[in-house]
Amino acid sequence: MTKLLCCALLLLDISIKWTTQETFPPKYLHYDPETSRQLMCDQCPPGTALKQHCTTSWKTVCVACPDYHYTDRWHNNVECLYCSPVCKELQYVKQECNATHNRVCECEEGRYLDLEFCIKHRPCPPGFGVLHPGTPERNTVCKRCPDGFFSNETSYKAPCRRHTNCSDFGLHLTQRGNATHDNICSGNSESNKRCGIDVTLCEEAFFRFAVPTKITPNWLSVLVENLPGNKINAESIEKIKRRHSSQEQTFQLLKLWKHENKDQDMVKKIIQDIGLCESNVQRHMGQANLTSEQLHRLMDSLPGKKVPMEDIERATKTCTSSEQILKLLSLWRIRNGDQDSLKGLMEALKHLKTYHFPKTVTQSLKKTIRFLHSFTMYRLYQKLFIEMVEKQVQSVKISCL
Ligand SMILES: *[C@@H]1O[C@H](CO)[C@@H](O)[C@H](O)[C@H]1NC(C)=O
Ligand SMILES: *[C@@H]1O[C@H](CO)[C@@H](O)[C@H](O)[C@H]1NC(C)=O
Ligand SMILES: *[C@@H]1O[C@H](CO)[C@@H](O)[C@H](O)[C@H]1NC(C)=O
Ligand SMILES: *[C@@H]1O[C@H](CO)[C@@H](O)[C@H](O)[C@H]1NC(C)=O
Ligand SMILES: *[C@@H]1O[C@H](CO)[C@@H](O)[C@H](O)[C@H]1NC(C)=O
């Protein structure tokens, strides 16, 4: 049955081709009164109109369409068609009329034809994305953003966008997005978060001056009292006290203070300087590129309590090569009652000679140390922050000792 149908269609197809080929130019039947015969006359081509039917001795005679007239197909009419008059309001001429084409009008950019009028495209509101942008013939098609997508703007073009995947940036999701809002991620320095460097070497270098040599029980409250700018609330201070060893508390507090006052000019400068310091340290450290074995040796060379094996292993897995030493130094510092990481690193460097570390490694460590030294000195004696705070803090330090 289907075979038969198939054959029949094939035959039909062939016959159509055969007949159309056979009848070009297209013909029409005409009764010739002189001979009283039915003749097959040629039709007239586009751009022309019929002037005289064919006879047994003459072919069909066609003439060009007059101005403002057209015919766009083969035919046997004695008249051409009149071109559409001037375009409507808010339309422009897309194609002028000529002998073979009618005039084409189109709505101006940003509008579409609805019955007789050019209507403005509709924009898609927040929560909706553009599925098909408007055309001169059709209005914009909007689509409600599905789960996992959002649009926070009123737009003629913007489709729904996928919510930012916070974990792709090493950040935490703090507020889940919906159709009108993107996910909100938190955590500032992405790689540091994943690797988990809490207080960086630069922050330590910057804030170390505030750590007293002997810590008294009320030290933190005294420091809070004397810091300029927005005060840190009691709840946050309690949290820091609960979570961190007494030595680490100073860094945590200053870090929080920096965050709470980040809009103040003085602090903006500090943040900028610390950022600059960090990119410098990353650059120097990036050249070290220690193997796992070298990292273990380096940690072995540090004085005081050792960082556990599993912590070293974890750091090599979660941190990039330039962050590994920094992470391990911060672990060592915390483990050793807030020793100065920089001094620790210098101490370790002395021992590295016996391990025959490659020159590139020791050199990049030395560069880092040298840089941090200059950074610390510069900060300590020249910056606004010091001028404003140190007097207060120093006097407090002395009175506490
Ligand atoms: C008439 O206009 C059409 C469309 O703009 C074009 O393709 C065609 O070449 C024109 N014909 C002549 C004779 O100008
Ligand atoms: C829309 O969201 C993007 C990405 O979260 C953001 O960059 C942009 O500023 C937002 N626009 C408006 C108008 O809220
Ligand atoms: C975010 O990306 C991670 C992989 O990079 C994937 O495992 C996770 O499912 C994504 N989360 C969402 C909400 O798409
Ligand atoms: C989408 O989230 C924003 C902020 O998170 C909120 O203001 C808004 O009401 C939410 N919209 C809906 C429809 O839940
Ligand atoms: C670090 O060294 C390893 C092999 O020793 C190499 O594969 C890797 O590309 C190096 N990385 C950088 C950042 O130099």
User: Rounded to the nearest whole angstrom, what is the distance from the C-alpha of residue 188 to the centroid of ligand 4?
Assistant: 24
Give phi and psi for 198, each to the nearest 5: -85, -60
Looking from the CA of residue 178, the nearest atom of ligand 4 is 1
Nearest CA to ligand 2 atom 4: 182
In this structure, the residue with its CA closest to atom 10 of ligand 3 is 165
Structure confidence at residue 12 (pLDDT): 42
Residues 322 and 279: beta-carbon distance below 8 Å: no
Give the atom of ligand 2 at the shortest distance from the alpha carbon of 164: 5
For residue 357, what are its two tokens? Answer: 């570390």
Radius of gyration, alpha carbons of the chain: 42
> How many other CB atoms are found less than 10 A from the CB of residue 202?
24
Kindly report the protein residue whose alpha carbon is nearest to atom 10 of ligand 1. Answer: 98
Q: Which tokens sit at 252? A: 């945590």
Which residue's CA is the nearest one to ligand 1's atom 1? 98
Q: What is the DSSP letter of 306?
A: P
Phi, psi of 167 (to 5 degrees): -65, -25
On whether the pTM is more than 0.75, the answer is no
- Give the per-residue pLDDT at 140: 97
Strands 61-64 and 69-70, how do they pair?
Answer: unpaired
Query: Does the beta carbon of 178 lie inside 6 Å of ligand 4?
Result: yes
**What is the C-alpha separation between 142 and 158, in angstroms, rounded?**
10
Q: Give SS3 for 94.
A: strand
Decide whether any atom of ligand 4 lies within 6 Å of the 174 Cβ. no
State the Cα–Cα distance between residues 213 and 400, nearest whole angstrom: 10
Contact present, 122 and 142 (Cβ < 8 Å) = yes
**Which CA distances in Å does 361 have to 1, 278, 286, 288, 352?**
83, 18, 10, 4, 10
Distance CA 98, CA 71 (A): 9
Mutate to test the pocket of ligand 4, among 152, 174, 181 (most ligand atoms within 8 A of CB): 181
Contacts of 20 (CB under 8 A, 6+ apart): none
- According to the model, what pLDDT value does residue 119 have? 95
Q: Give me the pLDDT at residue 171, please.
A: 66
- Model pLDDT, residue 361: 85
Segments in the chain below pLDDT 70: 1-22, 168-171, 187-193, 213, 377-401
Whole-angstrom distance, CA of residue 30 vs CA of residue 38? 6
Spatial distance between the Cα atoms of 254 and 247, rounded to a whole number of angstroms? 12
Q: For residue 186, which amino acid is it?
A: S
Q: What is the pLDDT of residue 379?
A: 61
Please report the beta strands in 122-222, taking only residues with DSSP state E, as ranges in sequence order. 128-132, 141-144, 149-150, 161-162, 172-175, 184-186
pLDDT at 172: 76
Helices (H) and strands (E) in the chain, counts: 13, 16
Ligand 4 nearest-atom number relative to CA 184: 5
Contact assessment for residue 140 and residue 133, using Cβ atoms and an 8 Å cutoff: yes
Percent helix, strand, coil in the chain (nearest 5)? Answer: 45, 15, 35
**48, 96, 100: which to mutate for ligand 1, most atoms within 8 A of CB?**
100
Which residues of the chain form CATH 2.10.50.10? 27-82
Q: Nearest Cα to 110, choosing from 76, 156, 176, 47? A: 156
Any atom of ligand 1 within 6 Å of the Cβ of 101: yes
Within 6 A (CB) of ligand 2 lie 152-153, 182
Neighbours of 306 (CB within 10 A): 14
Ligand 5 pocket at CB < 6 A: 289, 321
What does the CA dihedral 75, 79, 80, 85 come to, rounded to 10 degrees?
-140
289 C-alpha to center of ligand 5: Å? Answer: 6
Closest CA to 103 of 86, 81, 79, 80: 86
CB-based burial, 207-244: b 16+ in 10 Å, e otherwise: bbbbbbeebeeebbebbbeebebeebeeeebeebeeeb
CATH 2.10.50.10 fits 27-82, yes or no: yes
CB 294 near ligand 1, within 6 Å: no
Number of residues that make up the chain: 401
**Model pLDDT, residue 45:** 97
Q: CA-to-CA distance for 268 and 85, rounded, in angstroms?
A: 67
- How high is the pLDDT of residue 13? 45
**What is the CB < 6 Å shell around ligand 3?**
165, 167-168
